[in-house]
Structure 1
Amino acid sequence: MGLGNAPARYDVALLLTGLNRVLEYQPEDLTTTVQAGLTLATLDAELRKEGQFLPLDPVGYDRTTLGGVQASAASGPLRHRYGTARDQTIGIRVVHADGTITKAGGKVVKNVTGYDMNKLYIGSLGTLGIIVEASLKVMPLPASEGALLAFFPSIETAGEAALGVMGTSLDTAFLSLVAGEAVHELPGGRSVDGAAALAVGAFGQAAPIARVLRDATAICNRNGAAEVATVSSNEVTNLRRVLAEAPRGGSTTLMARLGVRPESVAGLIQSMAELSNKYSFNFGAVAHISHGIVHSGWTGKEGLMEAQRQATFIEEARDVARAEGGYLVLESAPPGVRALVDSWGDARGGQALMSNLKQQFDPTGVLNPGRFVGGI
C-alpha cells in the first residue's frame, strides 16, 4: 500500500501470494505464463535453468511479485535496454469489479489482434481490474556481463558524462547516475569523496563489452572523473540490485519518483540537493537517465521531520520538477505526511479520459477507490 493515496474506503484486502505458479513455460519460444503472486526471484530461478531471464529489476526484487510490478509499472536499471513490464507483457488475465474475468493479448509474441489492453491495465494500480495472470516475453541470459563505476566531483560533470555515453552508439545495458547519500551505497563508494557517480553496464560477448567499457571510461575521464573502477562480471547483478535499492536506505523517510527529459536530469538532481540542504534533509538519488526517471530518498534528524514540514518540502520539490517540465510522485511517506499532500500532485492531461475509463471498468468504485491520480 506504499504507492498512491490512502484509499477513500477500505472494506476488503486481496492478497494474491497464493497465486504463485508457473502455468506454462516454452523455452524454445521465449515465453512463459505465470500467476500474479509469483515473485520475480522465484520466476528468475526457474528461467535460469533454461539459460533465460525476465529483464525486470525493480526495487525489492526478492520479494516483489509480478502482479505488483505490473500494477505499479515499477522498473529498475534494465529499463534502459529492455523497457518496462509494458514491453515484456504479451498477454494478461484480469478479474473485474463485478467478478467477470477477461483476457487481453495472447501467449505468443506475434499477437496483433484487437486493442492492446495490456498497456491499459499495467500501471493502473489495480483501479481497473485485478491482474491475476500474465504471459511474458523472456530473454536469453547474456553470455557475459560487465560494468564500470565512475566517481565525479559534481553532479553536473557526472550528468555530462552520462549524456556523452548516451550520445554514442555504445550498446549499454544500463546507465545510471547516482548522487548524494546513494553514492555511499555503491561498491567502493564509502571510500570515495565524490558528489556523484555513473554506473555503466554492458551485456554480450567479452570483446564488445570490453569496447563499451573502454569507450565509456574515456568519456568519463574527459568529463573530469576522479576515479573509474571496473566491476567484476560476477558482481554486475549485485550492482544492479544496489542501484535499485540505494535511494531507499533503511531509515529513509520520504521516497519519490521524479521524471524529466534526460538532458534535465542532472540539473533536477542538483536542484533537489540544494532544496534538501535548505531543509537539512539527507538526500540520495539514482537516475536511470535515458528515460529521465529519478528515484530519490530523504531522511532527517528527529525534530526536523515534522509532518507539515515534510509536506511543505514535497510541494516545493514538486514545483522544482514542474519548472523543469517534469513531475514528482510520492512513493513512500509517513501517514501524517500522506494526509497533507497528494501522492500524485495535480492531475495532468488525460484526467478526463482516465476518469471515464474508471467509470466504465469500475462504475461502483470498488477497486482501490481514491488511490490513483485525481482520486480515481
Structure 2
Amino acid sequence: MSAWADVVGGAHARPGGPDDAVDGIVPGWVVRPGSVAEVQSCVRAAAAGGFALIASGRGAHLDVGAPPRRFDVLVRLDRLARVLDHQAHDMTVTVEAGCPLALVAETLASSGQWLPFDPPRREATTVGGLLAANLAGPLRASQGRPRDLLIGIRVVGADGALVAGGGRVVKNVAGYDLPKLHVGALGTLGVIVDATFKVRPRPECEEAVVIASPTASAAADIGLAVLDSEVPPLWLEVAGPGELAEGPGHGAASVVGLGGLAEEVAAGRELVREAARRRGLHTVLIADGAALRARLADFAVEPAAGVLRAATLPAEVGAVVETITGEARAAGVDVRCLADLPSGIVRAAVAEATAVPVLVRALRPALERGGGSLVIERGGGALKAEVDVWGDPGPGVELMRNLKAAFDPTGVFAPGRFVGGL
C-alpha cells in the first residue's frame, strides 16, 4: 500500500474490489493519479514491479474487449477531468482523458459548437474511454468516428515517458499519425492523458422520421434511397422487428435523423416522406430527434447476456439482420437488432448467454468469407471464455504484434485485451 500511496497519495490508493473487476478479474490495487506526472510515476512503478495495468475513466466501457491475461493495477483517470483549452474561433478543444463528455458539451455549447459523438452511456463516458474503445453512435453516419476529429494526443508510454502526437491546430500534418494508432487499441499501447479535437457547429434543430417497414430488408432499401437523396441525413438506423415502439409495431423500421437549419430539416422531412409514399410505407414524425438518437445510442448497453457486432456492406445490412434473427429463431432465443446503415454495422443483443456461442459459430464464417467480421462487443468474462471475442484478425495481426512489441515490450498495458491476444 505504501508504495502506491507514495505515488498518488494515501487517499487515492486502495486495494481492488469486485466493483473494479474487468471480466471477473479483480485488480490488486486501484490508484487515482491527479496529474500527468503521477500517471507517469504509476506506469514506471508498474513496469518496475512487473505489474500489468488497465487505465479507466469511470469504468463505463470495461466490458469491451477480451479478458486480460494479467491485471494487477487499475489506474483510474477520473481526477484528470478538465477542459484544458477551447479555441472557439479555430474550432478546437483540448481535454484531459478523464473529462466526461457532458462537461465537454457544456463548455462548447456557449459557442454554439459540439463534439458530435453519441456513444452508449454518454453521461458516464470520458474522453479517454471514447478513444480507447473507439466508441460511436448514430451520429457517425455524418460526423465520423472519434479518429476522424482527433488532431492531437498525449500518451504515457511503457517507460513512463510522455509522448505527444499531432497538435492543437487543425492544419497539422507533419510526421506519423500517432494519435489514430491509439484509437480503438483499448489502452494496450499506452495511457492516454489528454486529446485535442476539431469541433463543429451544433445543428439548430434535430428531428427524426420513422419509416415503418414489413421486413428489415425493406427498411434497409428505403434507408439506402434516403442516403442518396438531395438532403443527406444526420444519422440513419435500421431497427429489426419489434425493436422500435415508434411507428412500426412488430415490424422493422428505418429511422432517419435530420439536423441543421429549420429549412433544411423541413426539406429533408418532405424528401423522406415522399420516398416512403412511393413505396407505400407509413411514416411517423419524432419532433425530439436528439432524444430518440440518444436512446438508440444506448442499444449496446441495454440489458442483454451479450451483444454481437457484425460488419458488412451497407447493401447487405437488411439481409444480415434477417439472417441473425432467423438463426436466433432456430436456436429458440430472443434477439434484438439495430444497424447503422451507412457504416454497415449491425448489432444484435442476445437474451441468453448460452446462445451467444451458438450464434457466433453460425454467423461468423459467412461474414468473414464475405470480407466482414463478427465480434462479441460486450459480455461477461464467463461468456468470453467460451468463444473467441474477435474472430479472425486477418493478415494485419503481425503488424499489430510488432507495434505492441515496440510500444509495450514488457506487457504493462492491458495484456490480452486486444485482437489476437495483444
Q: Please report the TM-score for the alignment, with normalisation by the length of structure 1.
A: 0.92
Task: Give the letter aligned to residue 291 of structure 1.
Answer: S
Equivalent residue of 2:335, what SS?
Answer: strand
Q: Are residue 346 (structure 1) and residue 392 (structure 2) matched?
A: yes
Check conservation: 1:260, 1:325, Cα contact below 8 A. Answer: yes
> Out of 208, 230, 238, which is 2:285 matched to?
230
CA contact (8 A) 1:287 1:293 kept: yes
Q: Does residue 31 in structure 1 map to residue 31 in structure 2?
A: no
Q: Percent identity?
A: 36
Q: Which residue of 2 aligns with 1:357?
A: 403
2:317 maps to 265
1:281–1:298 contact (8 Å) kept in structure 2? yes
Larger radius of gyration: 2
SS state of the match for residue 342, structure 1?
A: coil
SS at match of 2:244: helix
Range 239-248 or range 91-100, more displaced: 239-248
Offset at residue 166 of structure 1 (A): 1.8
Superposed, 1:72-221 pairs within 5 Å as 72-184=133-245, 188=246, 192-221=248-277
Of the candidates 298, 310, 316, which is equivalent to residue 245 of structure 1? 298
Deviation at 1:248, TM superposition (A): 3.8
Structure 1 gaps of 5+ residues are none
1:8-47 paired onto structure 2 within 5 Å: 8-47=69-108
Q: Which has the higher contact order (CA 8 A, sep 6+)?
A: 1
CA distance in structure 2 between the aligned counterparts of 1:297 and 1:338, rounded to whole angstroms: 15
Residue in 1 that maps onto 2:12: none
Unaligned regions of 5+ residues in structure 2, if any?
A: 1-61
2-structure distance, mates of 1:213, 1:345: 40
2:360 aligns with: 314
- Is the Cα contact below 8 Å between 2:97 and 2:193 reproduced in 1? yes
Distance in 1 (alpha carbons) for counterparts of 2:300 and 2:206: 24
Structure 1 position 325, deviation (Å) = 2.9
Contact 1:259 1:294 in 2 (8 A): yes
For residues 145 and 333 of structure 1, the distance between their equivalents in structure 2, rounded to whole angstroms, comes to 33
Cα gap change, 1:151 to 1:323, in 2 (>3 Å): farther
Distance in 1 separating the partners of 2:239 and 2:300: 9
State whether structure 2 residue 335 is matched by structure 1 residue 283: yes
Q: Secondary structure, in 3 states, of the residue corresponding to 2:76?
A: coil
Contact 2:114 2:202 survives alignment (8 Å):
yes
Shift of the alpha carbon at 1:247?
4.8
Kept in 1, the 8 Å contact 2:310–2:373? The answer is yes
Tell me the C-alpha RMSD between the 2 structures.
1.5
Query: After the TM superposition, which segments of 4 or more aligned residues of structure 1 sit over 6 Å from their partners?
Result: none
* 1:28 counterpart SS class: coil
Q: Is the 8 A contact 1:247 1:284 kept in 2?
A: no
In the alignment, does 2:300 pair up with 1:254? Answer: no
Residue pair 1:157, 1:223 contacting (<8 A) in 2 also? no
TM-score by length of 2: 0.82
**For 1:290-314, what per-residue CA distance to the aligned partner results, in whole angstroms no more than 9, with x for missing partners?**
11111221114xxxx44xx432322
Please give the per-residue CA displacement for 1:150-201, whole angstroms capped at 9, x wherever unaligned: 11111111011011112233221101111134223xxx35xx4342111111
Contact 1:173 1:203 in 2 (8 A): yes
- Aligned counterparts of 2:412 and 2:242: Cα–Cα separation in 1: 41
The residue that corresponds to 1:367 in the other structure is: 413
Q: Is the Cα contact below 8 Å between 1:264 and 1:324 reproduced in 2?
A: no
Deviation at 1:323, TM superposition (A): 4.4
Query: Which amino acid is 2:357 matched to?
Result: A
